[in-house]
Structure 1
């Protein structure tokens, strides 16, 4: 008898769902059912998109030019605005022709890997990592090689660790600073050392800079291409308006790459999605050209919430939390809680702990298994102050019962 044909391809069947979106969806479903769930799962600012950006979109929607197809790689005006923004914020010049506008940062990440990775290639992936990176690498035919830095290292990998992971199959390094999920920020000196290591060994760097404007205390965003200018010919920069301008739903990201990579990625996008929605692109132009006053106001709120969350989490026995200096995430180690019992349930992993916290305290957090090794939780502080304090207070009370 002939074996039944596979209904779903092995390639797509192997993809793990986004853990962060799954947690957020479950929290929203429980809230819709009437439960007072507080969600720390999604990396999404709770602020509305700035009014001037919304007004630009309304005007764009009335313009018939935006009702038609436009160049697949992005509106020329937006590509020029991205080039000007890169010079303003990152301190180096780029050719607008080297920009591809994508449907959010996730498409840029996937296209970056798809553009340079062949089957058998290895990508060095510092961990903890954003949950989408390994899936994008696998879909491109590559293999990710984890390099882990725990709380004792402030979640920052060293050049020595990267070198130990390098093989003759190493094609690229994923570099994310400020980091999702940890909130760690590499110093200018660390960034330069990593860039020089990659340059020396001919390794591509895919650098995700989506949180560039969200740094705190004495941390500073250091673009790796500015730190090592010669790296520009083997670097792909990922960015977008989602986090900086509270525009997650507008779906505008971009990638900046050398000419040959840009050409390949643009060809791919012409078949995959064609152009990003023109109204969203016009809104992104307004955001990039409109200054950073709203951004600074949001950053100040994130900073206040960051301090509150770190202070409150630090009061819980068994939890260790390096102070995050970027993005809007806290990433506490919960190793001191593993092995304990809580309301009759044994805590054997951070996934167990996250499930107990949701069931017993009605607080949604993402377990470390989504980002690498078990033993950690990710909590976003991109939510209102009152909800943040209430949610962590519930966790304090619940975990106080662990024994």
Structure 2
């Protein structure tokens, strides 16, 4: 029979285990802060915790009054249910400030973990379409690109929503989506070189699955000294990117198209300049719906998107693309980190995500690989070299921005 100390230890350990699992499941942008969050919460509960962390799991050793428990936790790092992370911050804040006890915290945590998605399936579907259509002018500022993206992304969104109800499909979903988009693009939309290269027509519809966020998160973890988590996440990012690449090549083979058709040439712009400005509104609304972000955060996130785009555009004109991207990543990370320090503001990841997507590093990897497959060696390696440079610039900028906005002695309040 457990002694009273053992019972208390078991409750604290179980709470921290479930908390760590939820943090892992929402850590698609990096797991380096989980250790801090868990230790800070354990301290509030009168415990000490050692955390051994990898991107998809953790080992916790919890100690209360000299007695210890060790548990392992597994999670799948994603960013598709950010409503849970948003709801978690007030809970941990209330716990840290003594406004709730462990019993109530356990109830609230369980409600967050088991809560349904905040938007119905058709709104998530619409969100994925808007997310892709808003991004399309960045690839090619043409009406044809927008129309093609609307059609292709609707098909992609149907597959993504269907996979939510069939979890086994998620493991091969990037490959299946890439094959479908490749076949549809080559058969229906890439019939005139004047409308741009097939890869540029495919990319906006695939952007929801392109692991640019994972690539930059991996680089940021490596830059911050989290070698294991950064290296594992980097390998996983490369695997996801290769799935998309192989899917596109399978589509080429199925349609009997020559790989030489995978050129990377943009069409002549026919969009008015004001439409590019409005496209970021469409993109941000799509991000909110696709990633289950509470709708009340749309305004602040839109401001952060325009801040990031504005800084990147100005920086690119003054010091080049790499320098402009580095400065934009630094400013975005600094502002998001500073805002997230307030107890009632959204978590840093939620504030970062839409602005981060505007830096578009993942598409460079896809363009580089497919261009190489098409036999355009010089152009392909140029895209891949640019990918490496931009990824490192974003990662270092994110680390620098967070460091600039973090006080010398940060408070222990989590999130």
TM superposition score normalised by structure 1:
0.25
Higher share in strand: 1
With a CA cutoff of 8 Å and minimum separation of 6, indicate the structure with the bigger relative contact order: 1
